[in-house]
Structure 1
Amino acid sequence: MDDIPKDERDARKRLQHMAADKGSSLAELSRVLGRNPAYLQQYVSRGSPRHLDEPDLLRIAEFLGISPRIIRTREGAPAPRGRTFGLNSGAGDTADDFRDIPRLPLDASAGPGALGAEEISYDTFRFSRKYLRELGLEGADLTAIRVEGDSMEPLLRSGDEIFVDRNKRAGEGIFVVRIGDAIHVKQVRASKAGTIALISANEAYAPLELAREEVEVIGRVVWKGGRI
Structure 2
Amino acid sequence: MKKTMGKRIADRRKDLGLSQGDVAKHVGINRVSVSNWETDGKNGTSPKGANLIALAEVLNCTPEWLLTGDETKIVNAESNAEWHAGFELWDGDTPLRDDEVALPFYREVELAAGNGSTFVQENGGFKLRFAKSTLKKSRVEPEHAACVTVSGNSMAPVLRHGTTVGVDTSKKTIVDGEMYAIDHDGMLRVKMLYRTPGGGIRIKSYNNDEFPDEFIQPEDMGCVSIIGWVFWWSVLNVWNN
TM (normalized to structure 1)?
Answer: 0.53
- Residue of structure 2 aligned with 1:156, choices 150, 159, 172: 159
Residue matched to 2:94: 81
- Residue of structure 2 aligned with 1:134, choices 128, 137, 143: 137
* C-alpha contact (below 8 Å) 1:165/1:219 kept by paired residues: yes
The one-letter amino acid paired with 1:147 is V
What is the Cα deviation at residue 106 of structure 1? 2.4
SS of residue paired to 1:122: strand
SS of residue paired to 2:98: helix
Residue matched to 1:205: 211
Residue matched to 1:104: 106
The one-letter amino acid paired with 2:231 is V
* C-alpha contact (below 8 Å) 2:165/2:233 kept by paired residues: yes
Query: Closer, same or farther in 2 for the Cα pair 1:102/1:67, shift >3 Å?
Result: farther
Residue matched to 2:69: none
CA distance in 1 between counterparts of 2:123 and 2:236 reads 25
| CA shift digits 1:113-153 (9 cap, x unpaired) | 77123346621111121232234334671100001111111
* C-alpha contact (below 8 Å) 2:101/2:142 kept by paired residues: no
What is the Cα deviation at residue 206 of structure 1? 1.2
TM (normalized to structure 2)?
Answer: 0.51
Residue matched to 1:176: 181
CA distance in 2 between counterparts of 1:206 and 1:181 reads 20
CA distance in 2 between counterparts of 1:219 and 1:133 reads 17
Runs of 4+ deviating beyond 6 Å? none
Of all paired residues, the percent bearing the same amino acid is: 23
Q: Which runs of 5+ in 1 are unaligned?
A: 1-65, 69-79, 83-93
What is the Cα deviation at residue 179 of structure 1? 1.3
What is the Cα deviation at residue 181 of structure 1? 1.5
Pairs aligned (count): 137
SS of residue paired to 2:134: helix
Q: Which runs of 5+ in 2 are unaligned?
A: 1-89, 111-115
Query: Closer, same or farther in 2 for the Cα pair 1:165/1:118, shift >3 Å?
Result: same
- Residue of structure 1 aligned with 2:150, choices 147, 157, 163: 147
Alignment of structure 1 residues 1-228 onto 2, 5 Å: 68=92, 80-81=93-94, 95-106=97-108, 115-119=118-122, 122-138=125-141, 141-172=144-175, 173-203=178-208, 204-210=210-216, 211-228=220-237
The one-letter amino acid paired with 2:94 is R
What is the Cα deviation at residue 67 of structure 1? 6.0
Aligned-residue RMSD, C-alpha: 2.6
